[in-house]
Each structure stands twice: as structure tokens, then as C-alpha cells.
Structure 1
Amino acid sequence: MAATAQGQDTEVIVVGFGAAGACAAIEAAEHGADVLVIDRFDGGGASALSGGVVYAGGGTPQQRDAGVDDSVDAMYDYLRLEAGDVVSEVTLRRFCEDSPGMIAWLERHDVPFEGSLCPVKTSYPNNDYYLYFSGSEAAGGFCDTAKPAARGHRVKGSGTSGKVLFARLAAAARRLGVRVLPQTTAVELVTEDGAITGVRVRTLRDAPAWARRAHRVLARYSAKPGLYVPAVRKLLQRRVVALERRYGREATLTASRGVVLSAGGFIANRAMVREHAPAYRGGLALGTAGDDGSGIRLGTRAGAATAELDRVSAWRFLTPPSAFLGGVLVDEHGERIIDESRYGAAIGEAMIARHGGRGWLLVDAAIVRDARRGARGESQWFQWLQTVYLLRRGRVSADSVAGVARKAGIDAERLVATVEAYNAEGPDPMGKPSAFVRPLTTPPFSLVDVGIRPNIGYPCPMLTLGGLVVSEDTGQVLGGAGEPIAGLYAAGRTAVGICSRSYVSGLSLADCVFSGRRAGTSVAT
């Protein structure tokens, strides 16, 4: 067992070792605290599986290198539209003002970035580019209100580079003396005189070596490729739980300064999703089996308040290929759903909330030709495979708009009227910027099924955004009446944060850094 289980005090315990937990641990250690991090697996969580995109602006070095003109005011104006009132104007302004400093802080801890600007609008750039428009900044209605700028800072690394982000943060934490106790599950918070003073855990620390190795391997493959094949994850996770039940031993860890909960969201907990966001069942759970709401439940059992638990980000990206931006997204009635240049989470929300998760992208032969030409060069491998699937198995075609509508089971008369309105001169009816409008005139016409449903060929990743209510100044968890709970802090997707109302790529990781650093500083000082 770790030294703390043998009676020695730890000053700070961090529950969950992803990006938020690592940032909390680093800040606490840099402020002189003795820090212990526990994690059910080996750390990383959803952060390590992510694309490694950090939303930042206001004039970062990478933006300047790429010739991107941005300001704190422009970043604030855009995020105010996206975030609504989920956090105060003061907190959002502080987030924007601190944004260049956040990138500098990450770079000081060896997280690499680069100012290579992606020339096309995409959901995620290929390995040639590490700065891009990661939200709806250039979409209609947004660019008219807030000056658009590329703010998606992708950590430099091949493929989805969240693994690089976490590895560098984890190494920085260990260099500062942070101790990590893996394969340890937080069971209950310890309370004394109204304050949180520790955590009761179940740990494999003293389990046989073979059991720890088996747990590690099963958890690794449950995370990935289990992320893409839920049936595999479910099978492997049952064996993980069996090892934990048989070989786990209970212990109590004490923390003289406090506990930070950073155990992720609850997208892997089907019961919680069914309770709080039933319309979002059936998507691809973006995270690990550890995103089961355990951190949120620990907090609520200690009297914490929650908010935004009904908010889920569902990603229905239409790009790459960028040529698809010229199509029109319609429902079964042949009506437009949304400006197709909007960010994928906005598209996903519109489809689920107002159209039952159903949708088809209407394109013509010219767009299909350009999509085939450009898809491979614009894509990561998984994006290219999805494009191949959509253009082969997910598409029906005909020589007329009415004909393809009848093939897909869509109202033909209304679809024809929708296309006529889209092709007409003047502003797009949905406000799509003119740069993305392409009149659909070249037969054959195709309807690509982009509906949100369980589909291994074209999955819809989802993650939860709500969590424990915290003080926006300190990250301290608040009770039902708004009172602070002594010794308890939360960060990342365990807590309500900047992205809890509306998500764009990079905003969750940026909030993990922002809220993790805030909680780590507060609990240590």
C-alpha cells in the first residue's frame, strides 16, 4: 500500500489522472503541497484518447506565427455566444485573458504546439497542420458578431495527439514529486467536522503481479480499440471489474489540505445518461469506462449541487472532406436543418433536439467528385474511412432531386423547393457564408445518410458537459444552498465549466487546464 495508507499524511489528493487532474497536481505541487493522485486505471482518461486540441486565442505565439489576427475581445465575443451564461462574464473574460499564458504554461511543461494553419475548414486537421478553425467562428451569425480567428491549438503529434498532451503533463507532475497510485478507485469521501479530509479507496496495490498486469492490459484495450467497438469494451470491462472485486483491498487516504475531484464525466454510465439526457442514448461514448460519473456521485453524496447534467455534446461532423460544406443537410420532410458550416456539435444538437437524430446531406456530382479527390489528403485515417463508408454504403443517387428523394424516403416536393431556395441568388436562407455555398445543379444527385444512431461505419461521438457546481474563483465545490464544502474541489468534466453549455473542439481540454490549475492552486494555498 502507498505510504499514505500506512498512516502518513498527504496534503492534497487528486481523484482522476487526466488533463484536469494532472494540471491540478502540477499547480498544487508548484505551490509547495505534497500531492497524491489516484486513478482507477493508469491515467490519461478521455484526455489521452482525445484529439489533443486546446482552444486558445487572444494572440498566442502560434497564431502570430501563422499570421492570424486575434484579440482577447474577439475571443470573448465569440465564446459569449457559445457559452451563454453558464459562467459569469468575469470568469469568461479571465479565461480569455489568460489564454496566451495558458499555452505558455503548457509549453513550459513540454507540451508542444505549432503555428501551421490548416487551409480548409475541417473537424480535425491532418498531420501537416496544428492550428485551425475548431468551432463555428466563421459560420453565419457568428462571424457577423465576433471577428473570426483560428483558435484550435492541436498538440503537435501524429494522429490524435491527446496522448502526447497527457504524457507530457504526467511527466511534469512526476518531476515535481507528485506520487501516482494507479489501479485505485475512490469509493467514498471522508468527512471530519464538516470538512473533506480524505478518500476511502479500493486498490490493487497489493494484488498479485499477474492480476495487476491483466488489469492494466484489459483496461488499455477497453479504452482503445474498445472506444470504437462498444461490445469489445463491455466484454473487457466485465473482466476488469471481476479483478477489482477479487483482488481490491480497501484503504483510507488522508489529505490535510483537501481533495480535488477530476474523474471525468458520465457518458459511460448508461443509467445516468438515461436519467439526465435520454435523447442522447446510442452514440459512441467518447471516453473510457472511468467516465462513469463516479466523481460527480462522490460529490453529491457529500452534499454538492449539480448543474447542466442534461447537456451532452454529440458530434455530427460533415467534414472532412471540405467539399461536403457545399451540400444541404435536410430532414425526412426535405427541410434544411442548420447552416452546414456550423460546428459538428451544433449540427448534432439540432438533429437530435429537433429532428429525431435523422438527417441526409444532399450533394451533386461535382461535390462527390471533389470529395473523392480531397478526402484522403485532408483526413486522418479514421476520417477517410468514414468518408469511404458514406460515399459507398451511406449514399443513394438519382438523376433528379425528386428521384433521389423518393429513393431515400424523403418528401420529394419539399426537397425540390429547398434546393431551389438554396440555389437562388442572394444570401443563403440558413445564413451559410457565401464561401461555402455551392449551387446544386450537376446530376446525378446523392443523399448521404448522416443520421445519428449506433453505426460502426459512421459513429456519433458523445461526451457529457455538466457536473458539480463550483466556485468560479477557486474551484471549490458548492452545496445546494451555494455554500462551499470545506476541503473539496472539482475540475474538468466532473465540474461545471466554460464548455458546459456549448462545446467546440478544444474547449473541454482548455477548460481542464483552466479549472485544473485553479483547483490545484486553491487547494494548496
Structure 2
Amino acid sequence: MEAATPTADVVVVGGGLAGICAAIAAAEKGASVVVLDRAYGGGASAISGGIVYAGGGTRHQREAGYGDVDSPDNMFRYLREEVGDAADEATVRRFCDESVARMEWLESYGVLFGGPLCPFKTSYPKPEYGLFFSGNEKSHPYASLATPAPRGHRTNGKGSGGLGYTGRNLWQPLFDSALKLGVKFEPASRVEALITHDSQVKGVRYRSLNKSAGRWSTFLYRWFSATAKEYEQGFRPMARVLESVADRIWRRGAKQKTLESRAVILAAGGFIMNKSMIRELCPNAVGLATLGTAGDDGSGIQLGQSVGAAVSHTDRVSAWRFIYAPQAFLEGVIVSPSGERIAAEDKYGATICGSMITHAGGKGYLILDSAQWNKVKDTLTDQTHGLWKTLVRYLIHFGHKKAETLKDLARSFDIAPGTMYETIKAYNDAITNKQPDPERKLDYRSPIVAAPFYGIDISVKDSGILLVPAITLGGLRVDGASGVVLKEANGDGETIPGLYAAGRNAVGICSNNYVTGLSLADCVFSGKRAGENAGLYSSGSSP
């Protein structure tokens, strides 16, 4: 007698933050849920900074004195500008309106946030701080659209990696909670096809490395894949070697399986690790370093496309060139090889990098005078920590050029000396004449006049100590209200019944512009949305 095919109400493809949030939300609706993950959970979320972008009056904002400053409407006015056409107005409003409740939802499942507001501008706060301005809130033109409020909420707990990132402290309690709710987790599993019937998605075909492959095979696969993830942050060549070994072990022992379900949620990450997709869809990212795990290979997006799903914003990436902390770096000026100013220096790191790639061929140079340079050295200990402190020390001792005149400094970098001199003169004259900088807030300015002068090459690099990491932002188009995947059609909003997408498998809140914490916040938002609606769909109710 032939064995019955295993079934579940909801299958989630990917066990990162979006996938686990989707699993919890579906389980809350009473659905039986199985999560399939190519490794052992966590994805890129577990090696991330653990920052969740939230506002509208969170408990942590109130404790920092911003409870009456921020509101859902104030948050919306800022995010509407950042999000652009990546999400419709109703979706962005919902994201803002439910932000406080989502933070409470995370905390109800054991995620810990808290700590005082960071008093200086930083790309990632020191461990003692729990809240910071993580985006462009104080920058032009955003500060004129909405009252600036800090919305970067840092997950509490011991960090991992040289930067002390706390992403695992965000993912782990949610994963543990999902298991307690009855969610089944099947690791070492890669989905190869979606099962369809009458144009509806009804399950998955996949290969999995289970006990039949032998105890040593499963142990070694887990060890190599987990160790590779640990090296992703600091030593990517080693991570690639370990991933290759893990892949060979998996391919030798994985067995074909089928799992039928009433709904499937794709939450398998972006495609930054898929070189062919990068070359085809976003060639500007070819010269950038990859930030993610082996699972960010685009397989989830390709699964959706295999059943006719539409994609969007696949040309969008987020690449970071942070020039702070220390905050004193912001008092300098960033110029292109032509000597012209590239962008406002107080903008978010991905915003600066985007301008550098678009307008200067990926090349840029930060110019400071000796007073600003000394201020950087004086504030190094107070404003930096971990690997970032080591990086800044490298810049101070080795990674810069120095000259007695601005024109000599320009020549050492092969920057047009006359144009750079005029650019900095205009910057200084505006300060002397108490004129507003057209791009920047006054409190980050100081004149560049004291010799010697210093320059740092902040150009885009894909390797070395000053590499520029990147993630992909686009994916499958989804309905903003439910997260159900849309068909590749004539824009009529036709859906693929039974198929949902979340996280970086889907076009979402951060798919146009990224600021720190927005992708993780969107993983929670889109994962929860997909799980709730897939749970209703699997029960026979209208999602």
C-alpha cells in the first residue's frame, strides 16, 4: 500500500526572520505549519545588526522623550518619501499605524529591546545604546517633511561577530516560540518546485538531508553551513569554501520529498549570491561585496516566477559606504574625481553610496582639515566599538593621504585640483557668511581651513578592509493587503491563489530605498501579513 503524501495547512519556504514571523502568524490562526530551510534557520537576519525600524510612539521612543514627537502620521510622512513606488499608500500607512503593535508582538514572543538614545550620529550603536536615528530623518529634505524621530531599535543581548551584531537575538526567541506553537521545522531542505492544481499552489517538491543520509552527513552539513555563516561578516572567502563543502555533502545525501498544503509562503531571501541574476538584473552591483548567506541565491523568487509570478524593483540594491562614527567625519566634504561635491555627508550610508555610484562612477573622497581630523581621533573611543573602531584606527594611522595644501591633496588622489578647491571654498564661505548649506544641517559643519589636510578614498570596492557590502531589494510583486503573489499580467492585480511572499522574496517597504532596520522591520511586517492571510486561506476563509 502506497504511503500517503504528507500534508500541512501552510508551508513556509525559508526559516529566516520573515519565514518564522509568517509561521507564527499562521499558527496563531490555527493552521498547521511546516518551515523548510536550506540550512538550520536564521538566514541573513541572524547575522544582521538586529535593528528593527519602528515608530509612531513605541515604548522605547517614549522613554527617550520622543513619545509625543513621533506618531504614525509623522512616521508616514517620512517613509512615504523613502518608500517611493515600492508600496502603495495604504500599505505604507498600515506599516506605520501598526508599528507599535508589531514591536509589542515581537516582545510578547521574547525579543528584548531597550536602552537609552545614542547621543551622536552613528551607523550602528555601541552596546549600551538601544535607540538611534538610523536613517535620513535629520537630513535634507526629509527633516522638512516630518519631525525627526529616532526609530532604529537595537535588539538586546550579546552580539556576535566583530561588529557585535545582535541579529540572532532577534531571530532565536521567535524561532523557539514557533516551535512551542507547534510549527514543524525541517532543515537541510531545498524546495525545487511548486505543486499546482487548477492554477492554485498546492504544495512543494523538495529535497532534504534527513536521517537516512547518515548521522555523520547531517552533522557535517550542519557544521559546515553554520560555520560558513559565522565567516560571512569578516572573511567571505573562507565562507565560500565552507559553503561549497556543505553543498557537496547535501547533494550526495539529499532525498526527494513532496509536501502538499493549502498555501505556500516564499520567504527564502534575496539574490545577492546569484551572480547570473545580478549581472542580468542589477549590473551596478557587480562591483560590490555580497552581504548575505548561501540561501540568498534567488531561488524563492525563481519559484514564484515558475508559476507565472510578476517581479519588480529587481534592479534595486542597497550598498553602504558609512563615513561615521565618529560624528566628526561628517564635518568634511565628499568630492568626486572631478572635484565636485557628491552628496550631503550627513545622509544615510546607502544614500551616499547610491549617489557616488550614480553620479561619480563609484569613486569618492572624504576631505577634512587638521582640526576635524583631531576631533575624529579625540572621539574615537567614545563613539566607536569593535571592528568599526579597528577600521577607524586603520584610517587614522594608514588609510589616508595628507598634504599641506588642498590642491596638493587633490593631485595625490588624481582629483581635479582647481574644482575641488572651489568646492571647498564655497563650503567654507557659506559657513563664514552664516548661510545654510543647501544639502546639510548646520550643526554638522565646520570650515576646512587648517593645514595639513587629510583625504580618505571611500570609493566602491568589493574586497579589502574598505569593501562596500550590498543586498538586493526587489522580488515578487504582492498584494499590499494580503501578501498574496501577483501574476505577471497587464497590471490588473490578478493573483496566484495559495502563494504568498515575504521578506526579500517580495517587493516591500524597503525595496526602493533602504535605511538601517527597515528590511528587518519589513520582514516582520510582510511575514506576519502573509502568515495571517495564508492561515485564513488554508482554513477556507477569505484572506
Q: If the TM-score is normalised by the length of the shorter chain, which range does it land in?
A: over 0.9
Is residue 55 of structure 1 aligned with residue 53 of structure 2?
yes
1:6 deviates by 5.8
Q: Where does 1:219-258 land on structure 2 (aligned, <5 Å)?
A: 219-255=225-261, 257-258=262-263
**2:41 is matched with which residue?**
43
**1:384-421: CA deviation from partner (whole Å, max 9, x where unpaired):** 12212222332100111111111111111111101111
**1:208 is matched with which residue?**
214
**1:77-108: CA deviation from partner (whole Å, max 9, x where unpaired):** 10011111221111111110101111111010
Equivalent position SS for 1:362 = strand
Equivalent position SS for 1:188 = strand
1:378 to 380, 383, 389: 383
Amino acid at match of 1:336: R
**1:434 is matched with which residue?**
442
1:192 deviates by 1.5
- State whether residues 421 and 429 of structure 1, in contact with CA within 8 Å, keep that contact through their aligned partners in structure 2: no
- State whether residues 115 and 128 of structure 2, in contact with CA within 8 Å, keep that contact through their aligned partners in structure 1: no
Task: Supply the distance in 2 between the matched residues of 1:471 and 1:294 (Cα, whole angstroms).
Answer: 21
**1:390 is matched with which residue?**
395
**1:453-475: CA deviation from partner (whole Å, max 9, x where unpaired):** 12321121210000000011110
Task: Supply the distance in 2 between the matched residues of 1:423 and 1:517 (Cα, whole angstroms).
Answer: 50
Matched-pair identity in %: 44
Amino acid at match of 2:86: V
Query: Which stretch of the first structure deviates more once superposed, 235-244 or 35-44?
Result: 235-244
1:9 deviates by 1.7
Amino acid at match of 1:492: G
Is residue 524 of structure 1 aligned with residue 524 of structure 2?
no
1:358 to 363, 373, 384: 363
Task: Supply the distance in 2 between the matched residues of 1:514 and 1:325 (Cα, whole angstroms).
Answer: 33
Amino acid at match of 2:20: A
- State whether residues 5 and 258 of structure 2, in contact with CA within 8 Å, keep that contact through their aligned partners in structure 1: no
1:30 to 28, 31, 37: 28
Amino acid at match of 1:31: K
1:121 deviates by 0.6
1:221 deviates by 2.0
Equivalent position SS for 1:134 = coil
**1:80 is matched with which residue?**
80
Q: Where does 1:454-473 land on structure 2 (aligned, <5 Å)?
A: 454-473=462-481
1:368 deviates by 1.5
1:515 to 504, 526, 541: 526
Equivalent position SS for 2:144 = coil
**2:539 is matched with which residue?**
none
Task: Supply the distance in 2 between the matched residues of 1:520 and 1:450 (Cα, whole angstroms).
Answer: 42
Task: Supply the distance in 2 between the matched residues of 1:266 and 1:21 (Cα, whole angstroms).
Answer: 16
**1:307 is matched with which residue?**
312
Is residue 196 of structure 1 aligned with residue 204 of structure 2?
no
**1:147 is matched with which residue?**
147
Q: Where does 1:402-417 land on structure 2 (aligned, <5 Å)?
A: 402-417=407-422
- State whether residues 289 and 461 of structure 2, in contact with CA within 8 Å, keep that contact through their aligned partners in structure 1: no
- State whether residues 54 and 509 of structure 1, in contact with CA within 8 Å, keep that contact through their aligned partners in structure 2: yes
**1:478-520: CA deviation from partner (whole Å, max 9, x where unpaired):** 1012311011000000000011011111110111000000000
1:19 to 9, 17, 20: 17
- State whether residues 29 and 178 of structure 1, in contact with CA within 8 Å, keep that contact through their aligned partners in structure 2: yes
Equivalent position SS for 2:480 = coil
1:238 deviates by 1.6
Task: Supply the distance in 2 between the matched residues of 1:411 and 1:6 (Cα, whole angstroms).
Answer: 73
- State whether residues 305 and 468 of structure 1, in contact with CA within 8 Å, keep that contact through their aligned partners in structure 2: yes
Equivalent position SS for 2:213 = coil
- State whether residues 61 and 115 of structure 1, in contact with CA within 8 Å, keep that contact through their aligned partners in structure 2: no
Q: Where does 1:277-356 land on structure 2 (aligned, <5 Å)?
A: 277-356=282-361
Task: Supply the distance in 2 between the matched residues of 1:226 and 1:465 (Cα, whole angstroms).
Answer: 19
1:449 to 452, 457, 480: 457
**1:42-65: CA deviation from partner (whole Å, max 9, x where unpaired):** 010010011011111110110000
Task: Supply the distance in 2 between the matched residues of 1:505 and 1:175 (Cα, whole angstroms).
Answer: 30
Equivalent position SS for 1:508 = helix
Equivalent position SS for 1:485 = strand
Task: Supply the distance in 1 between the matched residues of 2:434 and 2:344 (Cα, whole angstroms).
Answer: 15
Equivalent position SS for 2:145 = coil
1:443 deviates by 1.2
Task: Supply the distance in 2 between the matched residues of 1:312 and 1:480 (Cα, whole angstroms).
Answer: 22
Amino acid at match of 2:49: G
Amino acid at match of 2:367: L
Query: Which stretch of the first structure deviates more once superposed, 202-211 or 119-128?
Result: 202-211
Task: Supply the distance in 2 between the matched residues of 1:371 and 1:314 (Cα, whole angstroms).
Answer: 24
Query: Which stretch of the first structure deviates more once superposed, 453-462 or 162-171?
Result: 453-462
Task: Supply the distance in 2 between the matched residues of 1:283 and 1:381 (Cα, whole angstroms).
Answer: 23
Task: Supply the distance in 2 between the matched residues of 1:462 and 1:195 (Cα, whole angstroms).
Answer: 35
Amino acid at match of 2:104: A
- State whether residues 6 and 258 of structure 2, in contact with CA within 8 Å, keep that contact through their aligned partners in structure 1: no
Between Structure 1 and Structure 2, how many residues are aligned? 520
Query: Which stretch of the first structure deviates more once superposed, 502-511 or 7-16?
Result: 7-16
Structure 2 segments unaligned to the other structure (5+ residues): 159-163, 537-543
* Normalised TM-score (structure 2): 0.94
- State whether residues 228 and 284 of structure 1, in contact with CA within 8 Å, keep that contact through their aligned partners in structure 2: no
Task: Supply the distance in 1 between the matched residues of 2:438 and 2:320 (Cα, whole angstroms).
Answer: 20
Amino acid at match of 2:444: F
1:214 deviates by 1.1
**1:183 is matched with which residue?**
188
**1:492 is matched with which residue?**
503
- State whether residues 462 and 469 of structure 2, in contact with CA within 8 Å, keep that contact through their aligned partners in structure 1: no
Task: Supply the distance in 2 between the matched residues of 1:311 and 1:289 (Cα, whole angstroms).
Answer: 20
Task: Supply the distance in 1 between the matched residues of 2:149 and 2:123 (Cα, whole angstroms).
Answer: 15
